[in-house]
Copies of this chain bind each other. A is one copy, B any other.
Amino acid sequence: MTEFALETLSTNRAHGGTQGVYRHASTATHTPMTFSVFVPEGEGPFPVLWYLSGLTCTHANVTDKGEYRAACAEAGIIFIAPDTSPRGEGVADDDAYDFGQGAGFYVDATQAPFAAHYQMRTYIEDELPSLIAQNFPADMTRQGITGHSMGGHGALTIGLRNPDRFKSVSAFAPICHPSQVPWGEKALGGYLGDDRQAWRDYDAVALIEDMTDDRRARVPSFLVDQGADDNFLAKQLAPEALATACADAGIDLRLRMQDGYDHSYYFISTFMADHIRWHAAKFHAV
């Protein structure tokens, strides 16, 4: 099996394109990794929208419930949904829903026993993009990234660390300031250790605070939707800290509080098409 050998688990025609689910042996996590890709009808190459999922999810949650295919078909966008952590018998885990398998937090872990497999930053930033570029009709010069909750944290931090790669960054109810909230303190402490300086590379607010002016100027626009009735809003998400950091740094953030919406896929699917159209406008604006 070569580095990028790709196993097709399923393909189904949907909205004129193809919804596929694939598996490969990851060199970053040293495990099999599964992800889904929707490719619209036509020859491409198509711009790429990454979607990073939240706690407990696999690729399947958004693939089933995300309601993204109609809008991606219309805009001509490839939609990629990776898993949220390495998985399997030999992979360290935890009984909690918010740490271990299903909760990789998009970090490269440095602490035993997690460091052996929990290399999700390298997987999402380096390995999976190479595999996508080699196997799908993707225009890697036009990429956007989005995600939900823990995956919104992933989208914001990956977007901030790679301002030249992404034309657009959006998120649904992201964990904006993980180093200051219980979910993030547990995960960053567990994967990275007690030195909070090491956490700053995985905290959207801290990344903005630490940026050089030159780099800040290259950060793309952000779109964030947040349900006003989200049970996790007060304790875990901290969008106001993101708003303050963006305002101080001159980063263009459109933060929309959505009355009556919670943290579920009912919320995500309601605003998904709007996010896709927003990314599409950025892809086609240049």
Contacts and interface: CB of A to CB of B under 8 A. Distances in A.
Contacts of A264: 12
A269 interface: yes
Interface string A264-286: 11110110010000000000000
A266 B12 CA distance: 7
A194 interface: no
Contact of A262 (B13, B260, B265, B270): B13
A266 B64 contact: no
A22 interface: no
Nearest to A66: B67
> For this complex, into which size category does the number of interface residues on chain A fall?
20 to 34
Contact of A273 (B14, B64, B70, B261): B70
A256 interface: no
B14 A267 contact: yes
B273 A13 contact: no
Given A64-B64, A65-B64, A65-B65, A12 B262 contact: yes
Given A64-B65, A65-B65, A266 B70 contact: no
Contacts of A13: 227, 229, 260-262, 266-267, 270
Contact of A266 (B14, B227, B267, B273): B14
A69 interface: yes
Contacts of A19: 266
A20 to B, nearest CB: 11
Interface in A5-57: 12-16, 19
Contacts of A227: 13
A268 to B, nearest CB: 10
Contacts of A262: 12-13
